[in-house]
Amino acid sequence: MSLTDLIYAGSNAVAGLTEGAVNDAIEKYGEGHAVGYPDTAYFLPIIYAATGVKIKTLGDLPAAVGILKSLITNKEDLGDALNAGLATAVGAEIIEAIRYLDGDPYVNDAGIGFVADPIIRSLGVPLVTGDIPGIAVLLGESADPAALAAIVKDYQEKGLLTFMVGNIIEQALEAGVKMGLDYRVIPLGHEVTSVIHVVSVAIRAALIFGGIEPGKLAEFLTYTKERVPAFVNTFGELNEVIVSVGAGAIALGFPVIADVPVPEVPGALMTQADHAKTVEFSLEAREIKIKVTKIDVPVSVASAFEGERVRKDTMFAEFGGNKTECWELVTSGDPAEMEDHKITLIGPDIDDASFADADVVRLPLGIVVTVGGKAMQKDFETVLERRIHYFTNYIDGAMHVGQRNIAWIRLTKEAFEKGFRLKHIGEVLYAKMRSDFEKVVDKCEITIYTKAEDVKRLGEEMVKPIYAERDARMNALTDASVDEFYTCLLCQSFAPSHVCVVTPERLGLCGAVSWLDAKATKELDPLGPNQPIVKGEAVDERLGIWNSVNEVVNAASQGAVERVTLYSILEDPMTSCGCFECICGIMPEANGVIIVNREFSESSPVGMTFGELASMTGGGVQTPGFMGHGRFLIGSKKFMSAEGGLSRIVWMPKELKDDVAERLNKAVFEMTGIENFADMVCDETIATDSEAVLEFLETKNHPALAMDPIM
């Protein structure tokens, strides 16, 4: 059979299955029965993107099947055949949606099935920063499980996000691959149709970040080809359904690399039978470049391990976490007096004889990273210090929580058994500081203290005064006190017209870029994503309008956005790219706003979930009344200050409220004299329906009720 014949055979088979499944479902549940995926604002996302049609009930499906069939021309033409691959994608999306009619079909599967919107949004920042350099989709059953496992681990160590479909999931699990979202290896499911859940991720990236209008299929295909760095590896023999799925991937711009002979299409469909070469070959095919830093430690160190948790049963050693004192500090030294790569441990290590009988090794810990370099500035110390959290988490077998003197670190038994010791934390920090900050760090020394008296004394005498000095400096740093703001254009790789304007009192909406971060990045990468905006005179102080800001935003968005205000949610608000930590929206009847964070999956008092609220904005478009923002903005005196500021907040999920309460209370008190404002803010444990929320606000005499009408 020719390649096109194979594709058509698969597409026609899937079309038949889809039609059958739709008819059966309608017969069983009736046309009016709802159909859809959990926690998405985009209906059946592929059909919605391709046609603009919002499938809501089973009765909507037969028309979609009609469209699907029309995509299969059966003509001997490769372009037509690739379209038939898209028909297979549509069919798989329908079949999988029908599987969800009786509840989550993946509860007893190693796979996770459909990927919810908030997860996709959370991937925005690591993808734009290159922290996740690419997306691998692995499919099938391998004749050589050990080789398969080696491939997955290699992708993992390179930071890629890997999706798995088919029996390779068990094969990799049995070979010891660590799996789950926290490890960037995501099992989707066993049925070949579950591959659609990764296609759905790529398509929703275009909807969420790209702001592409549903119905413009060609624009979606261009977006995925140019901006979603994905590719496919298949394992084992290919049947015609897999080939037609592959055709769909190729239509999206994702090369397919098989490990068995296939009719090759250069750049699109290729064979690489040697598993030792699969990774390199695939990365080259998709032009993914990886920067590796070799670090001399006995465990893997990769961004893919950032999310791993170390639980009590796998824990070997623990530092901090209210059990012992634990702090960390980056400070600058005089390069002339420093010895590069000097790593010193003062005090017992985790293999000390005194721990021979201990269940868990608990030690106080103080980490001092001293950096020196001509371009190093005092202000960058906090920027580098915050990276300790990430760098330590990159260690396979280490968990790092918190920062400064509330740091908390755990190490696993597995890491200990592989020979990991405290000096290796020093090795990792040294290597990452040198490679990630090479422009400012010429020399780096690490000293690790584990004697209780040292950790206590240095903590009091050296560390606390430095923190206090920094806090004082940070508090004095306001939008009014600086001459320059910064742009952040990082997210333009996904949201081409989005520009964040980062100021001391308004961090980037992803929460990852503060004004100081932006300033440091400008130093590290002079032509990079963060450029200064020389602020000049304000046109309007209250709304936060500067001509300089408008000019820069206009130019950087290629004219898509002409004007932004920095302090208003209603008048020319800043755009959102899609990866914001929180979304703020107006609740008119309460004369205030609600805020929902990405981690909160339930509905809010305005009747929408985070995902639904988030879908109202994004893609670099201005949407008055909705604003994506970072957690830290809740506590800034500039938070929508044009509309009355922080005291407009009437509802937040409890976890978020607790997280921000201290700063929020302090700022509101300084602005209005109201004490313990957070207690006046409603949350889901109190009420989520509008009337009950209002009642609560009245009993608390919430200030928003007495303010000018918000709209």
- Binding footprint of ligand SF4 on the chain (CB under 6 A): 125, 128, 488, 490-491, 500, 502, 508-510, 512-513, 577, 579
Q: Does 579 bind Ni ion (CB under 5 A)?
A: yes
Residue 305 contact, options ligand SF4, Ni ion, none, Cβ 5-8 Å cut-off depending on partner type:
Ni ion
Q: Which is nearer to Ni ion, 446 or 579 (CB)?
A: 579
**Paired tokens of 175:** 């070979």
Q: Which of 157, 240, 308, 479 binds Ni ion (CB under 5 A)?
A: 308
Residue 179 contact, options ligand SF4, Ni ion, none, Cβ 5-8 Å cut-off depending on partner type:
none
Residue 443, strand partner residues? 372
Q: Which is nearer to ligand SF4, 627 or 694 (CB)?
A: 627
Residue 26 contact, options ligand SF4, Ni ion, none, Cβ 5-8 Å cut-off depending on partner type:
none
To the nearest whole angstrom, how small is the minimum distance from the Cβ of residue 579 to Ni ion?
3
Residue 670 parent element (H or E): helix 654-672
Q: 């980062």: which residue's tokens? A: 502
Listed residue (611, 703, 596, 593) closest to 657, CA to CA: 596
Planar angle of CA 691, 697, 701, nearest 5 degrees: 145
To the nearest whole angstrom, how small is the minimum distance from the Cβ of residue 308 to Ni ion?
4
> Taking a C-beta distance cutoff of 8 angstroms, is the pair 235, 148 a contact?
yes
> Taking a C-beta distance cutoff of 8 angstroms, is the pair 112, 589 a contact?
no
| Distance (Å, whole) CA 496 – CA 302 | 28
To the nearest whole angstrom, how small is the minimum distance from the Cβ of residue 503 to ligand SF4?
11
Q: Does 117 bind Ni ion (CB under 5 A)?
A: no
What single letter denotes the amino acid at residue 311?
R
The one segment of 59-67, 81-89, 258-266, 395-403 that binds Ni ion by CB under 5 A: 395-403
| Distance (Å, whole) CA 661 – CA 677 | 8
The one segment of 164-172, 387-395, 617-625, 639-647 that binds Ni ion by CB under 5 A: 387-395
To the nearest whole angstrom, how small is the minimum distance from the Cβ of residue 659 to ligand SF4?
19
Q: Which is nearer to ligand SF4, 430 or 494 (CB)?
A: 494
Reduced to 3 states, what is the DSSP secondary structure of residue 489?
A: coil
Residue 512 contact, options Ni ion, ligand SF4, none, Cβ 5-8 Å cut-off depending on partner type:
ligand SF4
To the nearest whole angstrom, how small is the minimum distance from the Cβ of residue 550 to ligand SF4?
17
Q: Which of 4, 393, 514, 617 binds Ni ion (CB under 5 A)?
A: 393
Q: Which is nearer to Ni ion, 192 or 301 (CB)?
A: 301
Q: Does 123 bind Ni ion (CB under 5 A)?
A: no
Q: What is the 3-state secondary structure (H, E, C) of 202-253?
A: HHHHHHHCCCCCCCCHHHHHHHHHHHCCEEEEEECCCCHHHHHHHHHHHHCC
Strand pairing report for 269-271 and 315-320: unpaired
To the nearest whole angstrom, how small is the minimum distance from the Cβ of residue 236 to ligand SF4?
39
Listed residue (445, 460, 474) closest to 332, CA to CA: 445
Q: Which is nearer to Ni ion, 196 or 579 (CB)?
A: 579
**Distances from the Cα of 295 to the Cαs of 19, 80, 345, 368, 445, in angstroms?**
54, 49, 18, 19, 15
Q: Which of 97, 165, 444, 491 binds Ni ion (CB under 5 A)?
A: 491
Residue 629, strand partner residues? 582
The one segment of 153-161, 263-271, 308-316, 533-541 that binds Ni ion by CB under 5 A: 308-316
Planar angle of CA 380, 631, 505, nearest 5 degrees: 55
Q: Which residue spans within 361-514 are E strands per DSSP?
A: 361-362, 365-372, 398-401, 408-412, 443-449, 484-488, 500-502
Q: Which of 577, 586, 595, 664 binds Ni ion (CB under 5 A)?
A: 577
> Taking a C-beta distance cutoff of 8 angstroms, is the pair 609, 39 a contact?
yes
Residue 398 contact, options ligand SF4, Ni ion, none, Cβ 5-8 Å cut-off depending on partner type:
Ni ion
Q: How many CA atoms lie less than 13 Å away from 525 in the CB half-sphere?
A: 13
| Distance (Å, whole) CA 23 – CA 16 | 11
Q: Which is nearer to Ni ion, 333 or 528 (CB)?
A: 528
Residue 301 contact, options Ni ion, ligand SF4, none, Cβ 5-8 Å cut-off depending on partner type:
none
Residue 500 contact, options ligand SF4, Ni ion, none, Cβ 5-8 Å cut-off depending on partner type:
ligand SF4
To the nearest whole angstrom, how small is the minimum distance from the Cβ of residue 685 to ligand SF4?
30
Q: Which is nearer to ligand SF4, 256 or 502 (CB)?
A: 502
Cβ neighbours around 696 below 10 Å, total: 19
| Distance (Å, whole) CA 610 – CA 375 | 42
Cβ neighbours around 658 below 10 Å, total: 12
Q: Which is nearer to Ni ion, 10 or 397 (CB)?
A: 397
Q: Give Cα 144 to chain centroid, integer Å.
A: 33
The one segment of 88-96, 198-206, 287-295, 490-498 that binds Ni ion by CB under 5 A: 490-498
Q: Which is nearer to ligand SF4, 89 or 579 (CB)?
A: 579
Q: Which is nearer to Ni ion, 305 or 380 (CB)?
A: 305
Count each helix (H run) and each strand (E run) in the chain, helices first.
22, 23
Q: 């239509």: which residue's tokens? A: 251
Q: Which is nearer to Ni ion, 166 or 211 (CB)?
A: 211
To the nearest whole angstrom, how small is the minimum distance from the Cβ of residue 493 to ligand SF4?
9
To the nearest whole angstrom, how small is the minimum distance from the Cβ of residue 513 to ligand SF4?
4
To the nearest whole angstrom, how small is the minimum distance from the Cβ of residue 431 to ligand SF4?
24
Q: Does 305 bind Ni ion (CB under 5 A)?
A: yes
Q: Which is nearer to Ni ion, 275 or 421 (CB)?
A: 421
> Taking a C-beta distance cutoff of 8 angstroms, is the pair 388, 348 a contact?
no
| Distance (Å, whole) CA 85 – CA 91 | 10
Q: Which of 124, 366, 504, 605 binds Ni ion (CB under 5 A)?
A: 124
Residue 488 contact, options ligand SF4, Ni ion, none, Cβ 5-8 Å cut-off depending on partner type:
ligand SF4
Residue 308 contact, options ligand SF4, Ni ion, none, Cβ 5-8 Å cut-off depending on partner type:
Ni ion
Q: Which of 242, 398, 422, 660 binds Ni ion (CB under 5 A)?
A: 398
To the nearest whole angstrom, how small is the minimum distance from the Cβ of residue 208 to ligand SF4?
13
Residue 490 contact, options Ni ion, ligand SF4, none, Cβ 5-8 Å cut-off depending on partner type:
ligand SF4
Residue 513 contact, options ligand SF4, Ni ion, none, Cβ 5-8 Å cut-off depending on partner type:
ligand SF4
**DSSP letter, residue 404:** G
> Taking a C-beta distance cutoff of 8 angstroms, is the pair 616, 606 a contact?
no
> Taking a C-beta distance cutoff of 8 angstroms, is the pair 363, 319 a contact?
yes
Q: Which is nearer to ligand SF4, 426 or 508 (CB)?
A: 508
Q: Which is nearer to ligand SF4, 74 or 129 (CB)?
A: 129
> Taking a C-beta distance cutoff of 8 angstroms, is the pair 256, 249 a contact?
yes
| Distance (Å, whole) CA 269 – CA 45 | 26
**Distances from the Cα of 178 to the Cαs of 305, 313, 358, in angstroms?**
9, 16, 28
Listed residue (257, 258, 255) closest to 236, CA to CA: 258
Q: Which is nearer to ligand SF4, 577 or 661 (CB)?
A: 577
| Distance (Å, whole) CA 682 – CA 268 | 53
| Distance (Å, whole) CA 203 – CA 221 | 9
Q: Which is nearer to Ni ion, 238 or 577 (CB)?
A: 577
Q: Does 553 bind Ni ion (CB under 5 A)?
A: no
Q: Which residue is nearest to ligand SF4 (CB)?
A: 508
Residue 254 contact, options ligand SF4, Ni ion, none, Cβ 5-8 Å cut-off depending on partner type:
none
Largest CA distance in the chain: 81
The one segment of 12-20, 39-47, 306-314, 695-703 that binds Ni ion by CB under 5 A: 306-314
> Taking a C-beta distance cutoff of 8 angstroms, is the pair 253, 224 a contact?
yes
> Judged by CB under 5 A, how many residues of this single chain contact Ni ion?
8
To the nearest whole angstrom, how small is the minimum distance from the Cβ of residue 530 to ligand SF4?
8
Q: Residues in the site for Ni ion, rule: CB under 5 A?
A: 124, 305, 308, 393, 398, 491, 577, 579
